[in-house]
A and B are shown apart, each in its own frame.
Chain A
Amino acid sequence: MEKMIETKNLNKKYGKFQALDNVSINLYKGDIYGLIGKNGAGKSTFFKVLMGLSLSTGGTIHIEGSHTSNELNHARKNIGFMMGTNFFPYLNGRENLEYFCKLKGIHDEKEIERVLTLVEMNGVNKKYKAYSMGMKQRISIANALLGSPDIVILDEPINGLDPEGISDFRHIIQSLNQEEGITFIISSHILGELGLMANRFGFLHKGRLVEELDQKTLQERTEHQLVVKVDNSEKAAYLLEEVLHTTNFVVNGQKELVLSDYVHESNKVAKVFVENGLEVYKLSPNETSLEQYFLNLVGGEEHV
C-alpha cells in the first residue's frame, strides 16, 4: 500500500522534557487514522513537527515518499492542515478562505463555495470575529479541505461542534475519504468520537505511541476482556507472556491486568497464577466501552 506519511523514531524535546518519544507512524493511502491521546499527550506537537512549524530533535519524516528536506517542504503542499481556529477577525469566512486560496495558489473560483457548502457555512456572511465556536470550527475544517489535498490533518476538529455537527462531520470525512480518496489523520482525546469513523488508531501517551491497531482489532478487544487483580502485577504480566504466550493485555491505573485473550478460559489464567504463587483478588469478564479501553491503556487514574 502507498505510504502517505511515514515517521521513523520521531523525537521532540523541549529542554529536558520529552514531548515526542520515538514516534513511528505509518499512514497509508485511504486511511482515516485516529490519533488518540489525553491533554498533553503530544498530539499537537506531533502535527506541528509534521508540518514544519516545530523542528524535531531526532528521527525522520517522509511525506508521499519525500527524501530531502526540500522534497518534504514541497510535499506539504498536498496537505490540508487544521490546528486551532485562527483567522483574521475583520474578514468574513469567505474572505478568509479567499486569502488562503491565493496563498495556496488555488484558482478555481468554485472551490470556496464547495468547501463552505460541505461544512454548511455557505449561508453565513458575518465577520469571523462574530462567529460562534462551532462556526469557527467549521470554517477551520473547510480551510483544511481547500483544494482537495491528498492528505488532511485535523487536530481536535470535533471540539465545539454540537451533536448534529459531529454527525455531519463524520459524514463529510467518510464521503471525502471514499469518493475523493483523501487520507485523513484526526486527533482527539475521546476515542468514542472517532471510533465510528477511523479505520486505524494510534494511542499516544506521554509522547509515546503506546499502541496502534485497526478498527477490527479494536472492536474485538473492546467487546470482551478479562480483568485480573493480583498481588504482583509484574509477575502476572511475566506469566502471561511466558506461560500463556500472550501480550494482549495492558495494566490499568488500578494495577489490574486487562486481558483480551483467554476471555472464555479464565480458569486457565487462574490456574497458572495460583500455581505460581500469586494471590488472585479478582478475575472477572469485563465488557469495556471504547473509552474504557483507552483509559485502561493509558492509566485512567492519572491526570496531566
Chain B
Amino acid sequence: MFNYIKAEMYRLTHKKGTYIYYGILALIFTAIVLYLNAEVKGFGDTYYSIFTLIIPLVTSFFIGIHVFIGIVMNDLTAKTLPNVLSTSLSRVQFLLGKLIVAFVSIVLVHLVFGFLFIGLGIFVQGGVDGQAGTDIVTAIEVAGVNILGVVGFMLLASIVAYFFQKSSLALVAYIVLSLGIIDGILSQARGLSKYILYVYDHLLGTYLNTASSSALKGALEVNQVVPLVIYLAVATIVAILVLTRIEIKEGE
C-alpha cells in the first residue's frame, strides 16, 4: 500500500494541470482581496470575518472537485484500473491508499491556501493585530471541518464511481453531493414526512453545516466532529465492499 501511495503522489505531482489550476485559483483570490482592499475603506478590519465565511464554501467545491478528478476519476477516464489492480495490490489497500492520498493532497492544498490567506491578511491589515491569533485558530477549525467534508463527499461519490466505473457518472455524483443538491431538495421536503426529516437530519451536508457554523463562531465541539468521522468510516467500508465485489472493466 505504501508503494501505491508513493506512485499516486508521483502521478499527482507530475500532473502539470494541477499547478495551473491552483495557480489560477490563487490569482483570482489574490485579485479579489487586493481589489476590495483598494476599493473598500476599512476592509482590512473585516478581512478575516468575511473570508472565513466565504472561503470554505468556495474551496470545498473548487479544491474538492479537482482532488476528486485527480484521485478517483483519472483511473476511470484513463482506464488504468486493470493495470493497477492486476498487480499484487489488493482492493482494500487500493482504497485505503486512495483515502490517505486524498487526505494528504487536501491538507497540502489547504496549507498552501492557508498561508496565502494569512499572508494577504497581514498585508491588508497592515500587520498582525491582537485579534489575528484567535482568528487563525478559527480558520484552522473551519479548514479541518472543510477537509473532513471534502473527503466525505469524495468517498461517497467514489462508491458511485467504482460501482458503475463510468467517469461521467462519478463526476455528476460528486457535484450533486458537494453542492448539497440532495440536501436542498430534502430541506424543502422535510416537512412532508418524519422519514424525510430523519434522512435530512442525518445527511453528511447537514452535519457539515452544523459543524462549520460552530467552527466559524470558534465553538466547534467534539460531538459535532464525531458524526463526520463516522460518515467517513462507513463510507470507506461501503466503498471497500463495492470495490471488492465488482468486475473491473477492460477499457477499450
Return the chain B residue nearest A129 by Cβ: B78
B6, B85, B88, B89 — which one has the most chain A CB atoms within 10 A of its CB?
A: B88
Q: What residues of A have a CB within 8 angstroms of the CB of B74 in the complex?
A: 88
Report the minimum CB–CB distance from B113 to chain A (whole Å). 23
Is the beta-carbon distance between B4 and A51 smaller than 8 angstroms? no
Given known pairs A74-B88, A95-B14, the reply for A53 and B247 (CB within 8 Å) is yes
Report the count of interface residues on A (CB-CB < 8 A): 30
Report the count of interface residues on B (CB-CB < 8 A): 28
Is the beta-carbon distance between B80 and A86 smaller than 8 angstroms? yes
Beta-carbon contacts of B1-31 to A below 8 Å, as 1s and 0s?
Answer: 0011011001100111100000000000000
In the complex, chain B residues 212-252 whose Cβ is within 8 Å of any chain A Cβ:
247-248, 250-252
B74, B79, B83, B250 — which one has the most chain A CB atoms within 10 A of its CB?
A: B83
A-B pair number, CB within 8 angstroms: 84
Return the chain B residue nearest A89 by Cβ: B78
**CB of B84 closer than 8 Å to a CB of A:** yes
**CB of B131 closer than 8 Å to a CB of A:** no
Given known pairs A86-B78, A90-B15, the reply for A76 and B86 (CB within 8 Å) is yes
Is the beta-carbon distance between A98 and B10 smaller than 8 angstroms? yes
**CB of B184 closer than 8 Å to a CB of A:** no
Q: What residues of B have a CB within 8 angstroms of the CB of A105 in the complex?
A: 3
Is the beta-carbon distance between B86 and A52 smaller than 8 angstroms? yes
Given known pairs A84-B251, A87-B78, the reply for A104 and B6 (CB within 8 Å) is no
The residues of B with any CB-CB pair to A shorter than 8 Å are 3-4, 6-7, 10-11, 14-17, 74, 78-80, 82-90, 247-248, 250-252
The residues of A with any CB-CB pair to B shorter than 8 Å are 44, 48, 51-55, 73-74, 76-77, 79, 81, 83-84, 86-91, 95, 98-100, 102-105, 143
